[in-house]
Structure 1
Amino acid sequence: MSVTTDLLEHEEKKSLESREFGFWIYLMTDAVIFALLFASYVVLSKNSAAGPTSKELFDLGHTAGETALLLLSSLTFGVATISMSEDRSNRVVQWLIVTLVLGLGFLAMELIEFYGMIAQGAGPGTSGFLSAFFTLVGTHGLHVTFGSIGICVMIGQVLVKGLTLPVRSRLVRLGLFWHFLDIVWIGIFSVVYLPGVM
């Protein structure tokens, strides 16, 4: 019986390792997609078609608030991961809830920004610059939305199944995804917003 259990645990670990490798491949393909979106934005950023420019549209204070929320959410996800390594499932759930609230706050601020721009007549169809802006920032926002859904699912799994080996593996992969989104946002802040207001 013990030999069978050990064999099953070994096979489960091998399966989880291959899933983690596959997830790294996914993140690399996602990085390529974002690299292409960044390149498109850089090429089109000066094509405002006599419409509003980035200096007229971007509010660095608002964007700094978005950045603070997302970076704090990365920190709280890290604390959830530390709590997982200490086998404290209640703490994992608490920190995931805090991460979720911060992520939803980021999404709300992004939607407010998009709504304000569109209300000024600066929608994605106005110019090449705005089309590239909405595509890049909107794709990142869509990823944050899916990450938030993933956090909700993860909270449910920790509550129902506890910190089993598969749940731990999923939590680590979701953490990689969430931290990757922070890295992309730092790129957006540095390439889109900062040069846009200078």
Structure 2
Amino acid sequence: MSETALNSELLEHEEKKSLESREFGFWVYLMTDAVIFALLFASYVVLSKNSAAGPTSRDLFDLGHTAGETALLLLSSLTFGLATIAMTSDQAGRVVQWLFVTLILGLGFLAMEMLEFHGMIAQGAGPGTSGFLSAFFTLVGTHGLHVAFGAIGICVVIGQVLVKGLTLPVRSRLVRLGLFWHFLDIVWIGIFSVVYLPGVM
């Protein structure tokens, strides 16, 4: 084996080891994020009845609006999955297309969430009104912030696919970002089930 080929093989081996290390670190991050959300859920459950004689969840929540948010986020998870499938088939163009659709759906979700927050604050139901609203804005706002960071990540990956193509590091980033995005879907289903559904029933 020539020296050039040997060096290339060693570099590829080191790159794979580096990516494995990053993937392990990502799983550690995801687990700590799950713990944070578990604590926020617990805080909300404890404070959900503490409305301080102010507006309650029944007064504020619009299940139709929340269903629209849920549909957008679940569809975005599907389109991200299609981007991952396109990646396994080495279809860089399709990856970019599906990631762009995912980005639009994610931004639509964020727009609906900000509209909901604005409407609640306009009614005098801001995060400082009661323990219930503090817990609500903290939990749902933290999830929204994660979606915003995920949207930024999608923009970065789209740029990398366009510039570098589907290299091994780009594929690894896409897979990790996909896990993060699907994790946010699971958290949102928890929010829908624990916060919104009991809040209007």
TM-score under structure 2 length normalisation: 0.98
The letter of the residue matching 1:194 is: L
Corresponding residue number in structure 1 for 2:181 = 178
Determine if the alignment matches structure 1 residue 111 to structure 2 residue 111: no
Partners of 2:167 and 2:64 in 1: how far apart?
Answer: 42
In structure 2, list runs of 5 or more residues that go unmatched: none
1:69-108 alignment to 2 at 5 Å? 69-108=72-111
In structure 1, list runs of 5 or more residues that go unmatched: none
The letter of the residue matching 2:73 is: L
Determine if the alignment matches structure 1 residue 48 to structure 2 residue 51: yes
Report the RMSD for the aligned CA atoms in angstroms. Answer: 0.4
The letter of the residue matching 1:99 is: T
How far 1:5 sits from its partner (Å)?
Answer: 1.1
The letter of the residue matching 1:155 is: I
Partners of 2:18 and 2:158 in 1: how far apart?
Answer: 23
- Write the deviation string for residues 99-149 of structure 1: whole angstroms up to 9, x where unpaired: 000000000000000000000000000000000000000000000000000
Determine if the alignment matches structure 1 residue 133 to structure 2 residue 136: yes
Partners of 2:113 and 2:11 in 1: how far apart?
Answer: 46
Segments ≥4 residues shifted beyond 2 Å: none
Partners of 1:160 and 1:179 in 2: how far apart?
Answer: 25
How many residues in Structure 1 have an aligned counterpart in Structure 2? 198
Partners of 1:5 and 1:112 in 2: how far apart?
Answer: 53
How far 1:88 sits from its partner (Å)?
Answer: 0.5
The letter of the residue matching 1:75 is: L
How far 1:169 sits from its partner (Å)?
Answer: 0.3
SS at match of 1:143: helix
SS at match of 2:81: helix
Partners of 1:195 and 1:10 in 2: how far apart?
Answer: 52
Partners of 1:137 and 1:163 in 2: how far apart?
Answer: 34
TM-score under structure 1 length normalisation: 0.99
The letter of the residue matching 1:179 is: H
SS at match of 1:96: helix
How far 1:180 sits from its partner (Å)?
Answer: 0.5
How far 1:10 sits from its partner (Å)?
Answer: 0.9
Aligned with 2:31 (options 23, 28, 31): 28
Taking only the aligned residue pairs, the percentage that are identical comes to: 88
Determine if the alignment matches structure 1 residue 8 to structure 2 residue 11: yes
How far 1:7 sits from its partner (Å)?
Answer: 1.3
